[in-house]
């Protein structure tokens, strides 16, 4: 199945509310768990933070981290800011507007960099992955997780029914479009190598997810 692009930025109030209402608890718990396994610490950057689920959960799991979440979608960031204000860890959370393909931070500024399922939103992910490498401190932890594009549209639709059971028609449509826009394992490996991330590992997490990752070296 060929890759079919979807909008790079989900910046309508309806999209933000619909996405925030979906049950991300399982994937988010596994994602933050992997971050801990990789040795995430210190200053953490979450790229494409959406409504802020990952930064809030990471602060709940790991004392001492300060997490900056960035996104281009102002409606998503408005929801994230509400979560920050309600969190007991609000002093360790910051949400800002920034483009994943041109981050405003200095080289090596973050001890850990992560991104959960935004890779498939970007038509050409190479600038994004180069920015991940640039702002990550040497020896820092990296986790870029995304969906896997299946071999056929029939499989994409089957995965949608399997993984979005009980979801609304709009939520199912969002997930299906994401499967169609995702990359394959081989494509991610080739892109990572081209972006100076040849030392990062590409792993298949489950049937529908893959990760590009680096363990922290202190």
The topology (CATH level 3) of 13-214 is Rossmann fold (3.40.50)
What backbone torsions phi and psi does residue 69 show, to the nearest 5 degrees?
Answer: -110, 130
The pLDDT value recorded for residue 166 is 86
Task: Judge whether 148 and 202 are in contact, CB under 8 Å.
Answer: no
Half-sphere exposure (Cβ direction) of 189: Cα atoms closer than 13 Å: 7
Q: Report the range of poorest mean pLDDT among 73-77, 90-94, 132-136.
A: 73-77
Mean of pLDDT over the chain: 94
Sequence-distant (6+) residues with CB within 8 A of 57 are: 28, 29, 32
| Every domain of the chain and the residues it spans | 13-214
- Model-level pTM greater than 0.75? yes
Percent of the chain scoring above 70 in pLDDT:
100
Query: Which residues partner with 144 through β-bridges?
Result: 115, 212
pLDDT digits 0-9 by tens, 4-51: 998 777 778 887 887 878 778 889 999 999 999 999 999 999 999 999
The three-state secondary structure class of 50 is coil
Q: What is the structure's pLDDT at 198?
A: 97
Give the DSSP H/E element, type plus range, for residue 160: helix 153-163
Phi/psi for 157 (5° steps) reads: -70, -35
């Amino acid at each position: 199945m060929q890759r079919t692009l979807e909008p790079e930025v989900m910046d309508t109030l309806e999209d933000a509310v619909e996405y925030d209402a979906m049950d991300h608890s399982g994937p988010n718990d596994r994602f933050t768990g992997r971050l801990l396994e990789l040795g995430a610490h210190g200053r953490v950057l979450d790229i494409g933070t959406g409504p802020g689920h990952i930064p809030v959960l990471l602060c709940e799991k790991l004392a001492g981290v300060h997490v900056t979440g960035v996104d281009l979608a102002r409606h998503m960031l408005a929801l994230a800011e509400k979560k920050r204000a309600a969190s007991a860890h609000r002093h360790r959370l910051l949400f800002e507007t920034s483009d994943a393909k041109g981050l405003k931070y200095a080289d090596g500024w973050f001890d850990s960099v992560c991104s959960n399922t935004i890779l498939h939103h970007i038509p050409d992910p190479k600038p994004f992955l180069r920015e991940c490498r640039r702002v990550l401190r040497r020896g820092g932890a990296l986790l870029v997780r995304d969906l896997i594009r299946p071999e056929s549209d029939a499989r994409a639709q089957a995965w949608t029914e399997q993984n979005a059971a009980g979801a609304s028609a709009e939520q199912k449509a969002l997930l299906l479009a994401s499967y169609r826009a995702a990359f394959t394992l081989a494509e991610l490996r080739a892109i990572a190598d081209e972006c100076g991330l040849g030392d990062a590992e590409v792993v298949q997490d489950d049937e529908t997810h893959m990760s590009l990752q680096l363990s922290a070296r202190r």
